[in-house]
Amino acid sequence: MLAAPNPPSTRNAESRTSIKRLTREHFALYRGYLDGVSVEQLHATYGDATTDVRATRRLIGLLRDTLSSAARRTRDVEATHLLRLRPGSIPERIAESVTPTLEAYREAIDPHGFHSEAELLELYRAEYSQENFPLDRRASRNARLRRRQADALARMESSLVQAPQPSHPVSSWLEPAIADRLQRAHIYTLADLLGFIERRGHRWHTGVERVGPKAAQRITDWLSLHTDSLRHTLSKRAVTPRRRLPGNDPALARPRVTGIVPLEALEVPHELDGSAGINRADQTPSDAGFLTDLQAIDAWLTSVQRSVHTVRAYRREAERLLLWAIHTKEKALSSLDSRDCAEYIETFLTDPQPAAQWVGGGKIERTHPDWRPFIGGLSERSRETARAILHAMCEWLVNQRYLASNPFVRCAPVTTGPRIDVAGRSLSHSQWRAIVQASTRVLYSGQELRDFLALSLAYSTGLRRAELAGASTGQLTQATSLEPGGDRWHLVIIGTRRSDRRIPIPDSVMALLIASLQARGLSGNPAKCASDTPLLANSRTGRALTPDGIGQIFRRLLLGPKPGMAHALLSADAKSRNPSTHWIRHTHSHHALERGADCREIQARLGHAHLSTTRLYLRAAAVGANQSR
């Protein structure tokens, strides 16, 4: 593609008198032009999709001048003249002569053989004079001229065409504006660009100011055209959106290295792998069959029969401890003692240093080279969670006869406040009514209806955002007329530790759900929809929203798109706390308790493991009531 990577562009073409580097794409474009292909078709094939046909027309004129000048410098007079001839000045062929062959003439005028051969020849010569012969000579001349023109272009291509090399500056190949933005990101050569793309993956452009996905796609397309000369083929991870790659795709695998990297890419030096750890139960292979700390951690994670989120949290804490032991203490994990563990919990987790090695961005994938174990220091609650998880892991390893003792036994718990902070994180009745009013429409768009359904469903059920994202029509059941509640619908939430929760859905929310299904082109009866049909779907793809997508909806509804709407209902202190999905969950609980609902009923609906957690709402409500007096 002769798009942004190939100067000139619509902005700089008229100020240029020649092209710095001629590529095979330039010659393909000009060859098509000489062959009579329309400029519109050439623009569609070779042009920049972000410009109009005038850019390609200017590029053709610039190519004509550049090629002619180059031919003149090499004293190729023939090429200088031929390459400036415009399409049509050398017709591809003259219309075929209307003169028939002698045999065809005989069939036409003397099918019965009345004339002799001499008479027939005389008639033929009299009717078809020699005036057609110059036409034949002109056609032959034009054909030779076109061949000479094609040969001249081929000569120029063989002598002038250049292929991009890794050491070439980006400014030699990419349009000036793009090259300037890349250079500000410290990308100076094509080799730098290839390395940057490989490190950051498909969304590499987010690391370059003012380079969007369309410009990035044009650049990677151009790089892919020159894999031979650049001696590099962009990897699958670099050209494919992450959402299209399954988690086990080989393209996402990282080579094993001895750095601060995820467990799956960690290469542990033999002297630190734990095979000879000081705290090992013995120096012989464990009964469980794992020999090193990394193998022991993998076995522990495999033994955890919990939710995906729980396993992820366990892996995160084990990974952090192992990396800290290797790179900071220069010890095997199985050589850590109680003083090391106390230092890790009380000091290192509070402020992981050096930050350049340990702290990274919040949404960087594990496969990305910029991944780091932390996004900042941990709060007291998070440090206590880490201590509890690591204590449980080491206890399991002791039971498996891998460790001689649990080094976290003497590590004191971190003093924390309530596990769930509900104070000030819910809405009053007046605030809730105002937000509902701001979200209500006489006529809804598909997205507005989906968002209002999400708000109503979350308030009426108290579901977590992951539960809202995973809710589908297959989880809806309808009570029979013989059951309490008549024909009321219920949503069944599959439990992990506790039994399943069966939560009633108000008729008004079911009406919104039915309208939303119909707006998506589905049956208004949830029982007739496919069981995996999401209740809250992406308005464009129809797939289930992610938990992050649910969170974005509620932040938008609670803060409001414009000042003066729901945004004005929250105090400055409340707005600074970044309202989230849990605010709706807290509001559901507070309002239900104020209406006289039993605390155990709320516990069952919310899925709390302990009643003491639910009672936090009672204490928070009492504090709020006292403050309002």
Q: What is the pLDDT of residues 548-561, one digit of tens each?
A: 889 888 888 887 65
164: closest CA among 222, 232, 226?
226
pLDDT at 317: 96
pLDDT at 369: 78
pLDDT at 310: 82
Q: What is the DSSP annotation of 398-457?
A: HHTTSBSS-TTTTSPPPP---SS--TT-S--HHHHHHHHHHH--SS--HHHHHHHHHHHH
The chain-wide mean pLDDT, for the chain, equals 81
Query: Whole-angstrom Cα distance, residue 464 to residue 551?
Result: 10
DSSP state of 478: E
* Mean pLDDT, residues 195-213: 89
Q: What is the DSSP annotation of 151-190?
A: HHHHHHHHHH-----TTSBGGGTS-HHHHHHHHHTT--BH
Asked if 333 and 323 touch (Cβ cutoff 8 Å), the reply is no
Q: Which residues contact 360 (CB under 8 A, 6 or more apart)?
A: 370, 371, 372, 374, 375
Chain centroid to CA 389: 32
For residue 619, what is the enclosing H or E element?
helix 611-628
Query: Whole-angstrom Cα distance, residue 473 to residue 514?
Result: 11
pLDDT in tens, 392-410: 999 999 999 999 999 999 9
The band of 81, judged by pLDDT with boundaries at 50, 70 and 90, is confident
Asked if 360 and 200 touch (Cβ cutoff 8 Å), the reply is no
More confident residue, 306 or 515: 515
* Sheet with strand 476-478: strands edge to edge: 476-478, 489-493, 501-505
Query: Whole-angstrom Cα distance, residue 271 to residue 330?
Result: 10
Spell out where 122-262 has E strands. none
The tokens describing 41, both together, are 């078709």
Whether pLDDT at 593 is above 80? no
**Least confident interval from 93-97, 343-347, 432-436, 547-551:** 93-97
The tokens describing 622, both together, are 């009492």
pLDDT in tens, 166-187: 999 998 888 888 999 999 999 9
pLDDT at 285: 54
* Mean pLDDT, residues 610-621: 64
* Mean pLDDT, residues 263-271: 93
Whether pLDDT at 221 is above 60? yes
pLDDT at 14: 35
Kindly tell me the burial class for residue 188, based on how many C-beta atoms sit within 10 Å of its own C-beta (0-12, 13-18, 19 or more).
middle
Asked if 60 and 70 touch (Cβ cutoff 8 Å), the reply is no
Domains and CATH numbers, the chain: 1-162 (no CATH), 170-244 (no CATH), 255-399 (no CATH), 429-628 (1.10.443.10)
Amino acid making up residue 346: E
- Helix locations, 328-415, DSSP H: 338-343, 355-358, 380-399
Asked if 508 and 497 touch (Cβ cutoff 8 Å), the reply is no
Asked whether the CA dihedral 240, 243, 246, 251 is positive or negative, the reply is: positive
pLDDT at 166: 94
Query: Whole-angstrom Cα distance, residue 201 to residue 213?
Result: 12
Give the per-residue SS3 of 496-518.
Answer: CCCCCEEEEECHHHHHHHHHHHH
DSSP state of 492: E
The tokens describing 150, both together, are 């094609």
Residue 433: CA count within 13 A, CB half-sphere: 3
* Mean pLDDT, residues 461-473: 90
Whether pLDDT at 483 is above 60? no
pLDDT at 144: 77
* Mean pLDDT, residues 79-90: 76
More confident residue, 104 or 509: 509
Beta bridge partners of 505: 489
Whether pLDDT at 284 is above 80? no
pLDDT at 629: 42
The band of 201, judged by pLDDT with boundaries at 50, 70 and 90, is confident
Q: Which residues contact 30 (CB under 8 A, 6 or more apart)?
A: 60, 63, 64, 67, 153
User: Cα dist. 430→435, 436, 527 in Å?
Assistant: 9, 10, 36
pLDDT in tens, 2-22: 433 343 333 333 334 557 678
Whether pLDDT at 484 is above 90? no
pLDDT at 103: 77
Whether pLDDT at 571 is above 70? no
pLDDT at 142: 73
pLDDT in tens, 139-159: 667 777 888 888 989 988 888
pLDDT at 487: 66
* Mean pLDDT, residues 11-37: 72
pLDDT in tens, 119-144: 677 767 766 655 444 545 666 677 77
* Mean pLDDT, residues 353-368: 85
Q: Do you know the residue count of the chain? A: 629
* Mean pLDDT, residues 314-342: 96
